[in-house]
């Protein structure tokens, strides 16, 4: 049977100055992966990531429901994977004054798809800050990541943490994946899903020195953000401590092993041409 068609373009206003552009993608055998982009509405509007690049997604159109794209001044690319860059070049065309905040490596990887004009890049490394008028943003390397260019950030104005892939979780339905609050998911179900995501997205976590790994939690412990916005999780309010407790178990979680060719053939055997109808 065909995969469930999700509802691209769901929008949540989680704070007066923050919009979530929520989407999701079904992965057979794993679940529905949230795929969020965000908008910081401020003196210099900033878009964080630009969603999926699938044919039925139009990121600029979705963005237009909360902000005129021409007003965008900054595009923070947490890293240049395709589930974060779907609308980036369309947005650059629609927002002539916008610049892309990324790293040297991020700009290089992105340019393997299509050259990023260097005069539209703004290079920022973990630990560095930038001022965008009414707020200061501080870049940091999240505890878990799947791309060497990953940089999340803390917004000093709202106190919110944007964590890129870290804290992600596949969820049972598209509705849950695109919810406005992750507390709609049962606590133990969320813990299991976050540990699964950790092993899928950051398999290197099984090879780390655990004591050194937990020291990477310190920026989050110091800042104590009440709201964490992850690309791959519904908005997480008031549970930062428990999510860090979950991450501490990631190095000892069972490694993820995907289906092999025999499993794929078994899956395909269940599909009939033209949807199986007579």
Q: Which of 79, 53, 50 is nearest to 144 (CA)?
A: 79
Of all residues in the chain, what percent carry a pLDDT higher than 70?
Answer: 94
- pTM for the full predicted model: 0.93
Domain ranges of the chain: 10-267
Read off φ and ψ for residue 39, nearest 5 degrees: -130, 130
Residue 86: count of CB within 10 angstroms of its CB? 21
Segment 172-229, tens digit of pLDDT: 999 999 999 999 999 999 999 999 999 999 999 999 999 999 999 999 999 999 999 9
- The model's pLDDT over 10-51, given as tens digits with 9 standing for 90+, comes to 999 999 999 999 999 999 889 999 999 999 999 999 999 999
What is the residue-averaged pLDDT of the chain? 94
235-277: pLDDT as tens digits = 999 999 999 999 999 999 999 999 899 988 988 887 665 544 4
Has residue 115 got a pLDDT over 80?
yes
Q: What are phi and psi of 64, to 5 degrees?
A: -65, -15
Q: What is the DSSP string of 29-75?
A: TTEEEE--EEEE-SSS-EEE------TT--HHHHHTTTS-GGG--EE
Q: Is the sign of the CA dihedral 121, 89, 62, 86 positive or negative? A: negative
CATH placement of domain 10-267: 3.60.15.10
Question: In whole angstroms, what is the distance from residue 245 CA to residue 40 CA?
Answer: 28
Model confidence band, residue 7 (pLDDT cutoffs 50, 70, 90): low
| H or E element that contains 165 | none
């Amino acid at each position: 049977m065909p995969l469930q068609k999700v509802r691209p373009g769901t929008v949540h206003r989680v704070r007066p100055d923050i919009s979530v552009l929520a989407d999701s993608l079904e992965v057979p055998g794993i679940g529905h992966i949230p795929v969020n982009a965000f908008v910081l509405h401020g003196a210099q509007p900033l878009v964080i990531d630009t969603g999926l690049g699938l044919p039925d997604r139009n990121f600029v159109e979705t963005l237009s429901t909360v902000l005129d794209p021409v007003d965008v001044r900054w595009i923070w690319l947490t890293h240049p994977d395709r589930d974060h860059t779907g609308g980036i070049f369309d947005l650059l065309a629609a927002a002539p004054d916008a610049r892309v905040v990324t790293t040297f490596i991020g700009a290089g990887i992105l340019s393997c798809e299509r050259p990023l004009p260097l005069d539209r890049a703004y290079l920022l490394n973990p630990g560095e800050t930038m001022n965008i008028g009414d707020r200061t943003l501080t870049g940091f390397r999240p505890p878990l990541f799947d791309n060497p260019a990953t940089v999340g950030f803390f917004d000093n104005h709202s106190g919110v943490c944007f964590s890129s892939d870290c804290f992600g979780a596949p969820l049972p339905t598209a509705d849950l994946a695109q919810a406005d609050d992750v507390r709609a998911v049962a606590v133990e179900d969320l813990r299991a899903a976050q540990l699964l995501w950790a092993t899928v997205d950051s398999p290197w976590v099984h090879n780390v020195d655990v004591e050194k790994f937990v020291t990477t939690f310190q920026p989050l412990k110091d800042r104590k953000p009440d709201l964490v916005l992850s690309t791959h999780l519904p908005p997480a309010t008031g549970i930062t401590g428990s999510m860090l407790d979950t991450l501490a178990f990631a190095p000892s979680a069972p490694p993820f092993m995907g289906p092999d060719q025999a499993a794929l053939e078994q899956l395909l055997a269940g599909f009939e041409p033209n949807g199986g109808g007579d």
